[in-house]
Structure 1
Amino acid sequence: MSDQPPYLAVAERLRQCIASGEWSPGDRLPSRAQLAEKYEVGDNVVRRAQELLIVQGLLEGRAGSGTYVAEPCERLRMVRSWWREQGGGSPFRADMAGLGKRGTWEHRTEAKVPAPPEIAARLGIAEGDPCVRTEYEFLADGRPVQMSTSWEPYSLTGGTIVVLPEGGPYAGLGVVERMAAIDVVITHAVEQPEPRLVTAAEANVLGVQKSAFVTHIRRTYFCDDGRPVETADIIVPAAHGEIVYEIPIDRP
């Protein structure tokens, strides 16, 4: 074993067994006790090594059955880009088209939903103020790869042709283009990405294990007078999606 922490050294040994073809996708690994004896470590070291490889998508745990080599999973590149936002249409659909896949989504919208405390703070409105909430499930060739929940102040879009994000003449065209239709000019967005464990509800929608990690992006759009006009929680499974940021450079 090397000088690195024991669980990382064991994880590397397990990774080599997979890379060399000694273990193939679908194969059941030896028991933790057997691996602990083989590598001369404790059971907890093997457990931590396996948990690391499960997070990385190389292994999968099956309740009551053991740990198995996971089937290879294609990671889709999802570009977060202001240029794409300004281009109109759906950035997600553009990403999927670039990968040769059909990007679609399912949605559910509710109007006049009271803003919970965190959403109210992000939108600069009072807690309980009515919002339009839309839940999305994004699909690549029919497979769920991303989900999000969007919130817009009802005071901004109520009574307009864009009150329903997926209804009317601007359905599915994205926040920037929809808001422009009611003379609200979005100038920038702020995104805060962070990794975390998936929730049970998210795992059910995305079809991932309950031990999986996701990238959780809190995104808020701002208009030209500084007001926040939309905020969303975007969830991407770490094993399925690669998040890339494209940053414009202003030349002097």
Structure 2
Amino acid sequence: MVFGEQPAYLRVADDLRKKIVSGSLPPHTRLPSQARIREDYGVSDTVALEARKVLMAEGLVEGRSGSGTYVRERPVPRQIARSGYRPAGGSSPFRQEQVASGARGTWESRSEQVDASEEIAERLSIKPGDRVMCTRYVFRDAGEPMMLSTSWEPLAITGRTPVMLPEEGPLGGCGVAERMAAIDVIVDNVAEEVGARPGLAQEQLALGGAPGHVVLVISRTYFASGRPVETADIVVPADRYRIAYHLPVR
């Protein structure tokens, strides 16, 4: 298959990318200025600007106000494990994974009752405007923000029960399956979809990323006899973490 010639800005970006990856332009080095790129590659200012934009979109360089554009430190991605249901201990998956890996994980959360949006209502098979318990989490590894999560549970199921607040009460901090079992709702299935998109400004602020950096989004829903009982969006910085699945073979 024959492809057309690359646009000039992509050829320039490709050459600069190779220099960054090879170490010719090491982390914290200032990227050649727009004028220097124009002179070195014999291109226009527009082409030089677009090449720099490509590298910024890829997360290879970052702009520093009043200083210029610099090569970013390239983090070594770490794994976040996703696995089949593990009943031991009754704790949430994050807590179990932290214990298993010996990591120093901490988290903070905040719960509030809200009206279900159309999207969340569809995911939970309820009506828009029905009341749900929304819980927002920030997870940290050794103090570094590593993951955000927002979960929604129908108050038609958990309202006025001991498990209405996921992080409080006698089963606060336990996994969804354990909490639901306490009110005779037996979770028997979980579905996850993984996607990627540019991080929202508020997400990047919480995760310590730069605007435009890509995040992985895991949309997870727990079911009991086909009925959704909890759904959540888990947001992870794509340049720092990889999602690793370990699933049982039945």
- Give TM class, smaller chain: 0.7 to 0.9
Offset at residue 189 of structure 1 (A): 1.5
Aligned match of 2:37: 35
Measured in 2, the distance between the counterparts of 1:84 and 1:38 equals 57
Contact map agreement 1:193 1:215 (CA 8 A) in 2: yes
- 1:17-63 Cα deviation digits (max 9, x unpaired): 23443322211111123223323444454445444443444322234
The structure-2 alpha-carbon separation of the partners of 1:92 and 1:20, relative to structure 1 and needing over 3 Å to count, comes to: same
Contact map agreement 1:55 1:239 (CA 8 A) in 2: no
Q: Percent identity?
A: 49
Aligned match of 2:151: 150
5 Å-filtered alignment, 1:23-62, equals: 23-62=25-64
Matched, 1:229 2:243: no
Q: Give RMSD over aligned pairs.
A: 2.4
The structure-2 alpha-carbon separation of the partners of 1:246 and 1:148, relative to structure 1 and needing over 3 Å to count, comes to: same
Offset at residue 220 of structure 1 (A): 1.1
Offset at residue 98 of structure 1 (A): 4.8
Aligned match of 2:75: 73
Normalising to structure 2: TM-score of the pair? 0.87
Normalising to structure 1: TM-score of the pair? 0.87
Contact map agreement 1:120 1:126 (CA 8 A) in 2: yes
The structure-2 alpha-carbon separation of the partners of 1:200 and 1:82, relative to structure 1 and needing over 3 Å to count, comes to: same
The gaps in structure 1 that reach 5 residues or longer are: none
Aligned match of 1:238: 238
Measured in 2, the distance between the counterparts of 1:244 and 1:85 equals 19
5 Å-filtered alignment, 1:123-202, equals: 123-202=124-203
Decide which moves more: 55-64 or 213-222. Answer: 55-64
- 1:128-166 Cα deviation digits (max 9, x unpaired): 111111001110111111101100001101121111100
Contact map agreement 2:92 2:176 (CA 8 A) in 1: no
Measured in 2, the distance between the counterparts of 1:64 and 1:26 equals 15
Q: How many corresponding residue pairs?
A: 247
The gaps in structure 2 that reach 5 residues or longer are: none
Matched, 1:22 2:24: yes
The structure-2 alpha-carbon separation of the partners of 1:222 and 1:31, relative to structure 1 and needing over 3 Å to count, comes to: same
- 1:157-199 Cα deviation digits (max 9, x unpaired): 1121111100012211221221122221111112222111111
Contact map agreement 1:90 1:172 (CA 8 A) in 2: yes
Decide which moves more: 130-139 or 89-98. Answer: 89-98
Measured in 2, the distance between the counterparts of 1:187 and 1:48 equals 50
Aligned match of 1:120: 121
User: Amino acid of the residue matched to residue 246 of structure 1?
Assistant: H
